[in-house]
């Protein structure tokens, strides 16, 4: 088994499996966040459940963090291996003639997303850890009401942060535009369904980041102090 994951195809399969997991996470993350646009109360209740449920906190959250780190580390390893292989294998890498800009720049769109995740963790994740594990406050309350919606709004006041988020979501779209179909191909998806898969991939890759952009902009322009 460990030999399989050390082989080049094994690495691609591992990359694809972690990508599926992260794409599923992204879908549910979007489904929860979009609630904040429609109902502050529903968003608060779902956030409180997600933030305090032991199964989510102590099982799924560590698995997610592992998945994120694994995907990045494996991505860097694949990139390094590809680079060293490319120097020998191709006399001429004919750039856009035989591959898309997105596929050749997965590492850079990935690095941009990594930078976003660091900012995002500083914004949301570390304060949560602080409130729950350092201060020991699991009530989810602030000023007599559930605090999540208000905290979210606060994060989208600064136009600089909103700009950084929107830019990151554009990189996320670029990353997914290649990554979605690529992950299916690494898992051996058949050529016959290629067109359908590409269309689903395109829809997912554009609609989810666009949805996140809408959430960020909505809260930026609808903030009530």
Give residues 152-171 in contact with ligand HEM (rule: CB under 6 A). Answer: 152
Give the other-Cβ count within 10 Å of 31's Cβ.
12
Tokens describing residue 35:
């609630």
Residue among 106, 95, 105, 155 nearest 126 (CA): 155
What angle (nearest 5°) sits at the alpha carbon of residue 115, between those of residues 222 and 39? Answer: 25
- Restricting to residues 184-223, name those near ligand HEM by CB under 6 A: 212, 215-216
- Least distance to ligand HEM, CB of residue 64, Å: 5
Range 2-41, binding ligand HEM (CB under 6 A): 26, 29, 33
Q: How many residues bind ligand HEM (CB under 6 A)?
A: 17
Mark residues 36-65: x for contact with ligand HEM by CB under 6 A, - for none: ---------------x---------x--x-
Q: 68 with 19: CB under 8 angstroms? A: no
User: In this chain, which of 74, 172, 174, 177 binds ligand HEM, going by CB under 6 A?
Assistant: 172
Interface residue with ligand HEM among 128, 167, 186, 198 (CB under 6 A) is 128
What track of x and - describes contact with ligand HEM for positions 71 through 110 (by CB under 6 A)?
Answer: ----------------------------------------
Pull the structure tokens for residue 18: 């972690």
Residue with smaller CB distance to ligand HEM, 40 or 189: 40
Q: Residue 58 contacts by C-beta under 8 Å, 6 or more apart in sequence? A: none
Determine the angle formed by the axes of helices 40-52 and 8-38, rounding to 10 degrees.
140
Of 3 and 221, which CB lies nearer to ligand HEM in the complex structure? 221
- Please name which of 60, 55, 104 lies closest in space to residue 79, comparing C-alpha atoms: 104
The candidate with the shortest Cα–Cα distance to 149, out of 50, 217, 48, is 48
Residue appearing with tokens 């990935």: 110
CB of 26 to ligand HEM, least distance (A): 6
Binding site for ligand HEM (CB under 6 A): 26, 29, 33, 51, 61, 64, 68, 113, 120, 124-125, 128, 152, 172, 212, 215-216
């Amino acid at each position: 088994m460990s030999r399989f994951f050390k082989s080049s195809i094994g690495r691609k399969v591992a990359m694809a499996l972690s990508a599926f997991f992260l794409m599923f996470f992204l879908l549910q993350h979007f489904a929860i966040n979009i609630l904040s646009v429609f109902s502050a109360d529903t968003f608060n209740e779902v956030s409180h459940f997600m933030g305090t449920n032991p199964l989510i906190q102590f099982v799924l959250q560590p698995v997610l963090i592992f998945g994120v780190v694994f995907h990045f580390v494996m991505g860097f390893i694949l990139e390094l291996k590809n680079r060293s292989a490319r120097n020998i294998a191709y006399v001429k890498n004919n750039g856009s003639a035989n591959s898309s800009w997105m596929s050749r720049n997965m590492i850079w769109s990935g690095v941009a997303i990594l930078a976003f995740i660091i900012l995002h963790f500083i914004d949301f994740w570390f304060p949560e850890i602080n409130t729950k594990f350092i201060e020991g406050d699991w009530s989810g309350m602030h000023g007599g009401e559930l605090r999540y919606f208000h905290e979210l709004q606060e994060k989208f006041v600064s136009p600089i942060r909103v700009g950084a988020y929107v830019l990151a979501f554009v990189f996320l779209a670029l990353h997914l535009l290649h990554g979605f179909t690529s992950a299916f191909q690494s898992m051996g998806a058949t050529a016959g369904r290629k067109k359908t898969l590409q269309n689903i991939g395109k829809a997912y890759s554009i609609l989810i980041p666009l949805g996140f952009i809408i959430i960020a902009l909505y809260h930026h322009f609808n903030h009530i102090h």
